A and B are shown apart, each in its own frame.
Chain A
């Protein structure tokens, strides 16, 4: 199958997309060495700073959230591939303003290897305080009791927001890490796909799905999740997924949640709005209130059709951090 994507040489994808991202948001971010995307206000930061890492090809994630109130440096690997540990060590050294660095890593094999090697190499710099927080919230591939096996999906983005706001408020590194971890411990994501994407570097199909099939639980590189089934309506799909997230988080009537519908790349906002409307109704029927929400694209999987549904248990403090101002290329709050 021939790939229809607007691109030049496959080996230049990451470099060219970062060049364009930074050129189109030059007031907020700049490109550093080794594919680092850096918050332009970082030099003057007198607070805990935030570093993350991950593969490219998921735009606007992760680098579209570099800026005030979220991420200070994002270290980008190649398409769907983690960067190496040396670049992350360099980024953490660059980010540290004497108040320590929160290092957010998504739970994927390559990212975790790089994360662990980075922390090991940082032991040579005892003057730099760094705490690693791992986001691992995919309910489809392991039970909550075995959360180390859960993949990190879109939950990294609200985690950046919460942690970034806590850092901006002047919290210490231990406090920022504890807040980020509390949020991460209370979040869950379930993905559904109806059509797979192609790998932009190779043109290979990432998932081969039947015309009338959908798969609940598909990961963000097209990896299977086991829930392949006949295509359902928007309302049926929404109800199944909301209930799975409520069950996973043990949300009780009267509780407040954040709900994010994250389009995977080829699912329309029309569909996401139809789904969202049903999520609100379903949650209302369960006595659960949505106090924070986002519908749109935060972390995509090329032209995969489908979406990730994210839910998090909220309290007053977490809500305050979610609502706090931020200014990044793809999320702004005033």
Chain B
């Protein structure tokens, strides 16, 4: 199985849907130990993705004019970077540019190994702009285990890669509930943050859930 451009559009739309559905949850967590705007930003990012990949049937909008997977991901990355969403804009913008980085400009489809390399690329790119590590209660707690799991499953097919990444990301995000925030605004609250998961780790785990949901949708189509 390979993921071509139209398959990627479906996967990315599913990511946008997963984020759009959880806007209030993001804001609720962020209000407890931050400034309460993570939902607003993720909602904006979701709309930006929908505009880029949306099919006329689903959103009433025509897809962007990108002709390669790399182009789509780079357009999303640059768009998200410019969204003015506090930390989340540059962080998710960088993540999407990292997903695009390992792709050949002309690549028309991605296989399991490329997909795993893309997720590893996202982790690597993010590490160029934040020093956050696993355990610091940030999105890295979802992204780093997802990248490791995806890389280990790279020989087992696309379904295995995304399934493993989604599961590892979800477990990583859950584990942030027991951590003390060491980055971002939640850091000011220190030990008080124990008991609440990190909003960014949650949105990152839903990125992988969305990719996985999109894949399931693709299988049914």
Contact = CB atoms under 8 A, between A and B. Distances in A.
Contact of B185 (A116, A199, A221): A221
Contacts of B88: 110
Contacts of B85: 77-78, 81-82, 110
Interface residues of A, number: 40
Interface string B75-118: 00010011111111111011000000000000000000000000
A113 interface: yes
Interface of B: 27-28, 31, 33-37, 39-41, 78, 81-91, 93-94, 129-130, 183-190, 192
Contacts of A80: 35, 37, 86
A224 to B, nearest CB: 5
Interface stretch (A22-30, A64-72, A84-92, A278-286): A84-92
A84 B37 contact: no
A82 B89 contact: yes
A206 B31 contact: yes
Interface in A118-174: 141, 149, 151
Contact of B81 (A78, A85, A149): A85
Contacts, number: 119
Contact of B37 (A87, A149, A199): A199
A224 B39 contact: no
A34 B79 CA distance: 13
A91 to B, nearest CB: 13
A127 B97 CA distance: 27
Contact of B129 (A10, A34, A86, A116): A116
A205 B31 contact: yes
A171 to B, nearest CB: 32
Nearest to A207: B31
A206 B35 contact: yes
Given A81-B37, A83-B84, A84-B90, A204 B31 contact: yes
Nearest to B78: A86
Given A109-B87, A204-B36, A81 B188 contact: no
A84 B89 contact: yes
A109 B185 CA distance: 7
Given A77-B85, A109-B86, A113-B130, 13 more contacts: A76-B84, A77-B84, A81-B85, A84-B82, A84-B89, A85-B81, A86-B82, A109-B183, A117-B81, A151-B188, A202-B40, A204-B36, A223-B189
